[in-house]
Structure 1
Amino acid sequence: MDLDPQKAYDTVRAAWQQVVENETQETTPLLGTDITQQLECLFQYHLKASPTTSGPPRGETAYLLAWVHWVRWLTTLTGEEKNEAQAEYAEEIDRAFIASWRLRDLSLAPEAFRLPARLFQRLEEEGWTDPKLVQDYAGLMFGLALQTNSTNMLHEADRRSRQALSLVQESDEAWPVIASNRAAIMLKLAQDTGDYDHVKEAVRLGRRALSRLDEPPEVQAIYALQMAQLLLTQYEVSGQDDDLAEAIEISSSLLRNTDLITADTDLLDIAVTTLQARYERTSDPNDLAPAIEFQEHLVAQRGEHNDHYILGQLLSWLFSHTGNTDTLNRSIHHYEHAWTLGQAEDVPLPSALNGLAWMLKRRFEQTGNSQDRDTAILTSRQAISLMPNDHPALPSALGIFTATLHSRAQATGSMPDLSEGLAAADRALQLPDVTPTNRAIHLFNKAALLGLRHRNGWRTDNNELELALGREAIELLPAGHPKKGLYRINLIGGLIGRFRHTAETTALDEAINVGALALDEVPPTHPYRAALCSNYALTLFISAQHTPDEEKLRRAITLFNEALTRLPADHPSTAILLVNRGTARSALAADNSPEGEQDWAAAARLETAPPSVRITAAVRWARNATARADHKTALIAYTLAIHHLTNLADPGLERGDKERHLFTWSHLTADATAAALDADDPESALALLDSGRCVQWNTRLQNADELARLAETHPDLAASVRRLIALISAQDTLEGLLPTMDPLALDLN
């Protein structure tokens, strides 16, 4: 539909007057389909009009277009429809600028455009021959592009910066600054357009310019930061470690200036990003401490939801190395804060829920609080519900969800959890464009869930599928891939399971070969090196038990020693390593080993360890002492075991969990009582017997559903039962719950 420019002018001018005269500055009259059509007509007329063209006055038209388009662009920066408005009015800022250029009196233009428009007019008059003025104009356009996200302004800055560089020789005094600014514009253009063809040239320019710059320290730091950004971008394209190392060196040297740490968030961003990138390649924990320090400054200075998210992620990586409870809780805190801030800003961050779910699962593994485990499942499920199929974090979210369901199914044997976990793994495998690494992760998740089915009865077909999935995952990764060795760790579990149920020595031999390969592939600094050493040592121990081999036993003990050196002394997994090393030492010494007994005693007393591991350690310690006729030591060990037994029946556990855990140790009360009698201590025998019976009674009486049904028909009896529960519970002295762990089961992290 053809519109009359004069009518369009009158319509737009009337709408503008309505906005100007409105004290509330309501911009609605300038929005909407009709006014957009009128503006389009008027803009096209203005572009084509000459001094002799009939229609509205050109000067007033330029003024009206400049301000109306400027106000329409400003509208995109506020309001509930911010993202939609930015898409709908994307050209507004460019049209406002073009109209401003055509004003004879530039003081009438929006203030942001006055200086670049004046400089443009001057350069037009002088012929664009002064490199410094051309560079100044390119810089002003670059600043506007950064402020407004205008692609056209960025391209104009790119064109003029190239022109400025062509006007000087490299030997000229002005060349380093012009070249550095040209490199900055090329970097931004590559980041915005995804065209990285010129990044290599930008790095070349930036490096040569930086070596010749002679500027005040604060200006020199800006150009050095830009160089670090260029190197990081080139690293993301090329994957060359040298680029990353140089970027880290530049940013780290800048941050030795404490004033910059508190003043320059861009520098802190680059420093954290480079250290993150190197850690993801090397798993070197030495990069985490400075990255966390710098990110803490960003949280303190800026405190945005993404700042908390990154800090939560860094702390989660550090926890994987240290097992430190404070680090774990800090990670959870920052993930929670990232999610809360994102919701408040109407920018939900499902990746924060992802990280939160994972760390809640890790805290469950450390403390045994089933509420953390169940909350992790709910949180992970919520994260997935917020992600479309093409969300970049969905593969990770499905992997975490599968892992949390695996954790609960491992404790409870829940078939619904197994089924839901397998469905999640299958969905992850069917996602479009799944990378080989992600596919390998999901194949192993599925394999681990299939491995749990063995608890409901060994099935050869399940095990064969489990092993096939594991082998496929390993084959997906090229030689030298940093995760190839990690996936071999998991394959060992399926192979040992097969040997235990079928006595096939080929499975045991393959497990040994897989462990040897993984040992060469997983570097000493990797957080899962301890798990690998533990699993491989256990494989050698089982092989030495099947076919007596003293050399394998010694090799297993050496690997257990290495695993223990890789973990802090109070790490929750330290106890299981002590239990297994003690068993291997005992086997090597032909039983009654004092070294084995020392390991079991240390594991039984380790407060951070899961209670089932501490019970296992205490029982082995007690039996070894009994074999030596040291009944007093045996009584000490059995007393510890009964003490830990109360945690296995914590009221927070589901009934199935309680019954399975207590069934495993159904003999413990009788054995402890007998040990007390052997030690000629009848009072302790009676106390141990009462404690064990209290745990059993507590478990039977703490079923809420049964109590509720009883209360419906016999409220007086229900009240009596509750009083009885209270009396029995008063005898329990330990608080908290720790998860059950089979001390001979392989770590399938």
Structure 2
Amino acid sequence: MSGETIQVVNPSAEPMSSFIEQGDSANQRFDHDLAISLYTRAIELNSDDAVAYSHRGATYGKVGRHREALEDGEKAIRANDTWNEAYYRKAVALHALNRFDEALSTFEEGLTHGDHAAIREGLREVRRDKELFERAESDYALGCDYLRSKKFEDAEQAFRRAWEVWPMDLKYFLGLADVYWEKGNWDQCINTCCDAIYMGYQDVRHIEDKHGVRTEPALNVEQYVIGHALGLAGKAYLKRGYRLTASLFLNESFRKKPDTAINEVIQSLSNSPLIDEPLQPEHNGPTTNFGMRLFNLSQLYHILNPTINIHKAIQIKRDAVALTDDGHSHKPARLNTLTNSLIRRYELYGDIADIDEAIFTQERAARLTADDDYHKAGCLYVLGNAYRLRFRRLLRGVADIERAVDLGERSVALSTRSDDAEKAMFLDALGDSRRGRFECSGSLSDIDAAINAHELSVQITPSDSMHLAHRLMNLGTSLQIRFSHLHENQDIDRAISVQQEGFKLLERSSVQDKASQLNNLANSFQSRFERFKTASDISSAVTHHESAVALIPDSHPNKHLYLSSLGNSLLLRFDYSSERADIDKAVEVQRHALSLMPDDHATKTSCLNNLAIALLRRYSGYNRPEDIDESIQALEKAVSLIPTNHPNRPSNLFNLAGAFRARFDKFQHVEDIKRAVAIFTEAAQSPTGPPSIRFDAAAQWGIYAGNAGLSPLDGFRCALDLLPRVAWMGMSVFDQRVEIYRTGSIVHAAAEAAIEAGEYATAVEWLEQGRLLVWSHTLQLRSPVDELRDKHPELAKRLVQVSKALELASARDEKTADESAIRNHHDLTHQWEALVDEVRDHAEFKNFLRPKRFAEFVTAASSGPVIVINVARRCDALIVMHDTTDKPLHVPLTGLTNERVASLERSMRNLLVGAGIQSAAIGPVGATRRIGFAWSDSPDFRFQTLLAELWNLVAKPVLDRLIPLLRHRRRFPRYFLRDTPRVWWCATGALSLLPLHAAGLYDTKTTGNKVFDLVISSYTPSLAALINARRPRQGTAKVLLVAHSGTASNPIPKTEEELKVIMKRLRKKVPYFILKGSSATVQNVTQGMEQYGWIHLACHGEQDYQDPAKSALLLESTDSSDLNRLELSQIVSKPLPLASFAFLSACRTAAGDLGLPDESVHLAAGMLLAGYSSVIATLWAIKDNDAPFVADKVYSKLVGRGHPEYSQAAFALHHATKKLRESGAPFLSWVPFIHIGG
């Protein structure tokens, strides 16, 4: 230290503004004493500073020192009589002192100096409270009059009314104790006094509890009120003969409220021996009476030191219960009170033994309380709360939450008065329980019922009730959870609205409540941000999290949770805005959260993970090697803290492996990627943990195995084996699409690895598995579980319940790493495996959740080869033919990559935008045929270039391999239509959006260098869909013709002409029925689809890119000027046994989704899935004149032989587009027409 000096700062040199800022900071830490001291220093420097007085007055108000707050408000006004904030401070203090008229006039005077939102709100509150207070005072005065007149029943009713109207002043409640004293009902007097003391204690003392939290006053309680209660209880005990107990109460009373009469009683007691002992029964007294005294003594112990003596209080209550006979009328109440204390201690210390004892104790109370007893509902309510707490902690299957729901429903049913305050409380608890069951079951009926219960609770809770705030916040939480599953905008908007409304009502609540509700509100803002990415939402989330953190000291048991939540929201904001300060602070607060937790804390691993993720993100953004190293250390510690078979272990392993992978990506140390792959493998092969996490781990194992010198197939095989367990779980539409995109890329990577290893059949199997996921999730088709539900409903129900519990267990198990959670997850896993085996024991379900093998897909190629194209880092074609039962033919597409396919797709999109056919946002533009528009001249050479690339990169390599084989016609007799071979294109990725059927070289007249010169093309979204399209159809062909000319603002010309040319072709050959104009309604069309095997639709079409299942045909409306929608989901859900052929002469009916191109889930594909074997559709909007021309040529071939042949649809379209080409039509006219299906 030599040569160094320590600078001593003179505190008086601090500027006044610095003291105010420091005081504000202390207030945020809830250190009000320090804040008052700092504001006082500022005032000493400048006694005319209104701001300092205002801030100190606000702080006095927070700790219940309202008279001092009033003085500071007055001083602030004297210092600056034009500052409306000063008037606000004075008025708030007057309001707290119940000086309502003065508060009103002060608020009004403040408004004369400028508008002030808080003053206007204060006026509203004062007017409301003034009315309520005057009613309470009137009833209280009436009660006092009745009491003096010995009209005890009337007095009791008056005091009760006063307390119900104004439960902020204990003197009204204590009026009841005065009634019992005058009546000589000592026991009731004692019990009422003890209740009053318990309610008012913290509001008077403002002492710090074990967590260092000072409690703000919720009641307007003066010292003398508590002193009166203590004294009255002491005198009543003296009347009962319990001199020592009386002495304890009376001495505490005198300390609170010096009183000559009380002091004389104390002196008389001190002059004679106190012969009774508080913890032993009187030798001659009944044990039941002593039980009551023990109970009240436990309340007093709790009052004198609530956290230190809660253990002693519980033991005394246990003794009181033990000394009370089961038949005694007070036994259920004492059991109930013991339960509440056990729950309180559990909330303080987290010992699961307390909640187990609470449940056991309250079950006894419930048994001892008759069903017709008024208190039975409340007894069941407390028991339900205990079960719900244990469910949150241990997750013992669904038994605890099922019991909580049952108890909640019974307590509500027993509370018959719709406006009963208790019923509102019971409904609120029922809502919490139904929400808990939803988290376990995933059943929407549960979360809907939860919201309904919360809504009813809020409705019957008076607007001036102190409980309204919490009930609004609970409603908001349930709405937020439903939003997280369904993503309905109105849910999250309303959640935030009611939570904000509730928070405004928390002005007089404890800081713990405020912090908790701020955290909930922040979570809602965060949820909305994650969905819509609105900057203001994530800023609000961060602000509210920061406020929650600031309200409570480090010693509070939830401080680490609030800090961690703040860190997560800062991380989200960093991801959005890339502000360096956010990621730095995210790391800082996550470290702070960890510093507050011992290694054995239940949520330590979760916080370690959060810190590691923040460090990883900072490493990714700013390349700090020390961040990735610290991240790995944190994750290694998290893994070391979790037992081997804990259900949350795979998630921790996955994160750790990801960190090693990130370090490998940067420094290319092979040891890092070997560690990463080994850890991914362990996570994937774990017997516990959610299937979704294990699937992701297996995928990463497969993707990076090659870097570690291992085969990737084992990893991908593990992933694909897990896919059925991930895929058919219920999801929202939004989550489905995210899942489809994620798993789709993994499936392509797996197929690529299989192709590189020469396992071509495996590649096809895996690609089909991915396709099945797309179809079943997007169109909500009948999954294997739906089929099971038809035959064995109870078995299906059990399987779904266990699957949901398994998938959700990891997230909830974060709160505990004890053996019970591990055992619970093991039990669920064994149940799931046993149930699947039970399903497979049924012959018709022997392959339940097992993927199909390649040999089962070969029948898709019975009428022609199917060309499956995988688009990944490398691209390959796999040609399935009916004689290739062991493996498909492989054609490497050298020169084609994922990036090149994406570039080709962008080129075509730009071409269509330039031609005025499609908007840049990928949607139809303008108004024309099927969206009639004004065509722009399209440069055909651009299309030539695009189609030439498709020929050289895709079609030519495939057909060069295939055509020589097809020349052996005798080998493939069914592969030809009218002497031309057929093929089916089954592309993946963005390639599925490109017109492979039109690929070719158009700058030469040489034949044989265009696809249509060599083959007739069809498309299929999957092999399974093509197999389904070939099943036999019932009945004879009849045609339903539907035409709708659109609206005045968006007409479709030539629909009448189109129908006429079709009718001309059908006449006398095929029966048909017409629905056009006003008769072309959704109802008529859907009924017609059930009765007619063929359908021709000439109308508007609309593709929904957010939810493809809502893509629709637009038809006549019966009740409005708008068109009605026949949605894809409606079509798919209809049983259509006659369906065989559909011609969709509507725009973009075969247009895929550029966001998720693997989703070939467009209107045409949906028709195929609905049961139609063969579908003609369009890739983009078509010219008005082209539709009648193509329809005429198509139907001429379909019925040209005198009878309908839908199997000729591909040839018919091939012929029609040839004629359109030969007429000189541009590419944009004939290319969009395609055939899908058999």
- TM-score interval, normalised by the smaller of the two chains: 0.5 to 0.7
Q: After superposition, where does 1:386-405 map in structure 2 within 5 Å? A: 386-388=505-507, 390-391=509-510, 392-405=512-525
Match of 2:268 in 1: none
Which residue, out of 637, 658, 666, partners 2:770? 637
Contact 1:66–1:97 (CA under 8 A) maintained in structure 2: no
Structure 1 partner of 2:160:
77
| CA–CA distance in structure 1, aligned partners of residues 587 and 441 of structure 2 | 31
- Counterparts of 1:320-469 in structure 2 under 5 Å? 320=439, 323=442, 325-343=444-462, 349-388=468-507, 390-391=509-510, 392-431=512-551, 436-456=556-576, 458-469=578-589
SS in 1 for 2:602: coil
The CA deviation at 1:410 is 2.6
Superposition deviation, residue 468 in structure 1: 1.6
Q: Deviations over 1:635-661 (max 9, x none)?
A: 6735754886799xxxxxxxxxx979x
Distance 1:225 1:602 in 2: 44
What are the residue-to-residue correspondences of 1:569-718 with 2, within 5 Å?
574-575=691-692, 577-588=694-705, 590-592=711-713, 593-600=716-723, 603-608=726-731, 610-625=736-751, 627=755, 629=760, 633=765, 634=767, 637-638=770-771, 641=774, 670-673=990-993, 682-684=1017-1019, 717=1049
Distance 1:532 1:723, change over 3 A: same
Tell me the residue number matched to 1:496.
616
- RMSD (Å) for aligned C-alpha atoms: 5.2
1:92-107 to 2 correspondence within 5 Å?
92-93=175-176, 100=182
Note if 1:298 corresponds to 2:419: no
1:587 and 1:480 map into 2 onto residues whose CA distance is 34
- Do the aligned partners of residues 334 and 518 (structure 1) sit closer, same or farther apart at CA in structure 2, a change above 3 Å counting? farther
CA contact (8 A) 1:221 1:254 kept: yes
Please tell me whether the aligned partners of residues 183 and 203 of structure 1 are also in contact (alpha carbons under 8 angstroms): no
Check whether the contact 2:147–2:179 (CA below 8 A) recurs between aligned residues.
no
Any conservation in 2 of the 1:176–1:210 contact (CA below 8 Å)?
A: no
1:556 and 2:680 are equivalent in the alignment = yes
The aligned residue for residue 733 of structure 1 is 1129
Structure 1 residue runs without a partner (length 5+): 1-27, 44-62, 101-112, 117-136, 568-573, 648-657, 661-666, 689-714, 742-749
1:81 Cα deviation after fit = 7.8
Partners of 2:173 and 2:1127 in 1: CA distance: 71
1:339–1:29 distance in 2 versus 1, CA, 3 Å: closer
Tell me the alpha carbon deviations over residues 535-575 of structure 1, each in whole angstroms, 9 at most, x when there is no partner.
3454455557664444542322333454x8344xxxxxx54
Q: Deviations over 1:346-398 (max 9, x none)?
A: 56522233233233333233233333333333333333233227454322222
Asked if the contact 1:538–1:580 (Cα under 8 Å) also holds between the matched residues in 2, the reply is no
Contact 1:283/1:526, CA 8 A, preserved across alignment: no
SS at match of 1:733: helix
- Look up the SS of the partner of 1:480 in the other structure: coil
Q: Shift in Å at residue 82 of structure 1?
A: 1.4
Query: Which amino acid in 2 is paired with 1:341?
Result: I
| Residues 502 and 590 (structure 1), Cα distance of their counterparts in 2 relative to 1, 3 Å cut | farther
Structure 1, residues 260-283: CA drift from partner, whole Å, max 9, x if none? 799834543553454556566667
Q: 1:184 aligns with which of 295, 301, 308?
A: 295
Alpha-carbon contact 1:232-1:247 (below 8 Å) kept: yes
State how 1:122-133 maps to structure 2 within 5 Å.
none
Deviation at 1:466, TM superposition (A): 2.0
- In structure 2, the partner of 1:514 is 634
Note the C-alpha offset of 1:514: 1.6
Contact 1:76 1:85 in 2 (8 A): no
- 2:1137 aligned partner: none
Residue range with higher mean Cα deviation, 183-192 or 214-223: 214-223
Identity of aligned residues (%): 15
Match of 1:692 in 2: none
State how far apart, in whole Å, the 2-side matches of 1:466 and 1:175 are: 62
- Normalised by the size of structure 2, how large is the TM-score? 0.41
Equivalent residues of 2:461, 2:468 under 8 A apart: yes
Task: Give 1:424's aligned amino acid.
Answer: H
Can you list the C-alpha shifts for 1:590-630, whole angstroms capped at 9, x where unaligned? 33433333345654554425321123213432453364545
1:139 aligns with 2:459: no
Partner Cα distance (1:353, 1:619) in 2: 43
Please give the alpha-carbon distance, in whole angstroms, between the structure 2 residues aligned to 1:645 and 1:29.
62
Give the residue type in structure 1 aligned to 2:711.
A
Q: Aligned-pair distance for 1:403?
A: 2.0
**What SS does structure 2 have at the residue aligned with 1:565?**
coil
Number of residues of Structure 1 aligned to a counterpart in Structure 2: 604
Write the deviation string for residues 36-80 of structure 1: whole angstroms up to 9, x where unpaired. Answer: 6x999xx9xxxxxxxxxxxxxxxxxxx982347864653343389
- How many Å apart are 1:426 and its aligned residue? 3.0
Q: Does 1:472 align with 2:605?
A: no
SS for the counterpart of 1:683 is strand
Question: Partners of 2:610 and 2:627 in 1: how far apart?
Answer: 14
Q: 1: distance between equivalents of 2:748 and 2:465?
A: 59
Q: Kindly tell me: are residues 506 and 31 of structure 1, through their superposed partners in 2, closer, same or farther at Cα, counting changes over 3 Å?
A: closer
Q: Distance in 1 between matches of 2:1016 and 2:556?
A: 63
CA change 1:575–1:307 in 2 (3 A) is: same
Give the AA of the match of 2:593: A
Change (3 A) 1:682 1:436: farther
Partner residue, 1:25: none
Structure 1 residues 429, 85: CA separation in 2 closer, same or farther (over 3 Å shift)? Answer: closer
Q: Distance between the aligned counterparts of 1:606 and 1:198, measured in 2?
A: 49
Give the Å deviation of 1:496: 2.4
How far is the alpha carbon of 1:494 from its aligned partner?
1.5
Which amino acid is the alignment partner of residue 403 of structure 1?
N
- What is the CA–CA distance in structure 1 between the aligned matches of 2:168 and 2:577, rounded to whole Å? 60
After superposing the two structures, state which structure 1 stretch, 354-363 or 635-644, moved more: 635-644
User: TM-score of the superposition, structure 1-length normalised?
Assistant: 0.65
CA contact (8 A) 2:454 2:474 kept: yes
Distance 1:69 1:357, change over 3 A: same
Contact 2:560 2:596 in 1 (8 A): yes
Take 1:84 and 1:231, find their aligned partners in 2: how far apart are those partners?
26
Going from structure 1 to structure 2, the CA distance change for 1:359 and 1:232 (only over 3 Å counts) comes to closer
Match runs of 1:141-180 below 5 Å: 141-142=189-190, 151=229, 153-159=232-238, 160=240, 162-163=242-243, 170=281, 172=283, 174-180=285-291
Structure 1 residues 213 and 646: alpha-carbon distance in aligned structure 2, compared to 1, 3 A threshold: closer
SS at match of 1:77: helix
Q: Partners in 1 of 2:688 and 2:1016 — Cα distance?
A: 40
Letter in 2 for 1:491: L
Q: Which structure carries more relative contact order (alpha carbon 8 Å, separation 6+)?
A: 1
Report the Cα distance in structure 1 between the residues aligned to 2:288 and 2:143, rounded to whole angstroms. Answer: 41
Q: Is the 8 A contact 1:639 1:672 kept in 2?
A: no
Tell me, in whole angstroms, the C-alpha distance in 2 between the residues paired with 1:426 and 1:417: 14
**1:83, CA displacement in angstroms?**
0.9
Query: Do the aligned partners of 1:492 and 1:511 also contact (CA within 8 Å) in 2?
Result: yes
Q: Which 10-residue stretch deviates more, 161-170 or 590-599? A: 161-170
- Greater share of strand: 2
Write the distance in 2 (CA, Å) between the matches of 1:468 and 1:195.
34
Identify the residue that residue 66 of structure 1 maps to in structure 2: 149
